[in-house]
């Protein structure tokens, strides 16, 4: 704090104290009651937990979320089974012929081979 700031605070404190001394007793009593009430409320707001208490809890929560994201296994839905071989087959250009003759393979699968 600079010397000018300290001088200003001292001047302001002196003026306010002089102003209180010039007040009538009823107003001075009300101001004292308000000041005491404010000090009591300030003491009451202090809890038994320090202000930094939520920090470790937030750190633990962050670590758990990161572990779930990194090591969590994705949920596989029954209709969306994505096997590695299926993905390789779909990505392969060599299997293009299979898709060009898809109608033939469908007919072949539905045809009955009863000997009779």
Q: Work out the angle at residue 43's Cα, subtended by the Cα atoms of residues 41 and 45, and round it to the nearest 5 degrees.
A: 70
58: tokens are 């937030």
Instruction: Say how far apart CA 106 and CA 90 lie, in whole Å.
Output: 18
Q: Convert the pLDDT of each residue in 58-115 to its tens digit.
A: 899 999 999 988 888 766 666 665 666 766 766 766 666 667 777 887 888 887 666 5
Please answer whether residues 93 and 100 qualify as being in contact, where contact means their C-beta atoms are separated by less than 8 angstroms. Answer: no
pLDDT of 16-68, one tens digit each?
Answer: 877 777 788 888 888 889 988 988 887 776 666 666 778 888 899 999 999 98
pTM value?
0.30
The C-alpha atoms of residue 90 and residue 84 are separated, in whole angstroms, by: 10
- Contact in structure between 28 and 22 (CB atoms under 8 Å): no
- Which residues lie below 8 Å from residue 95, measured CB to CB, with a gap of 6+? 89
Q: How far apart are CA 29 and CA 19, in angstroms?
A: 14
- First-to-last C-alpha distance (Å) of the chain: 108
């Amino acid at each position: 704090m600079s010397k000018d700031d300290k001088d200003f605070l001292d001047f302001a404190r002196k003026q306010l104290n002089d102003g209180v001394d010039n007040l009538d007793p009823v107003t001075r009593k009300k101001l004292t009651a308000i000041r005491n009430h404010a000090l009591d409320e300030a003491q009451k707001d202090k809890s038994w937990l320090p202000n930094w208490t939520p920090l470790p809890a937030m750190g633990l929560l962050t670590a758990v979320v990161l572990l779930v994201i990194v090591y969590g296994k994705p949920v596989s839905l029954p209709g969306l089974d994505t096997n590695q071989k299926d993905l390789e087959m779909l990505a392969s250009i060599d299997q293009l012929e299979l898709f060009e003759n898809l109608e033939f393979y469908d007919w072949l699968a539905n045809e009955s081979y009863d000997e009779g």
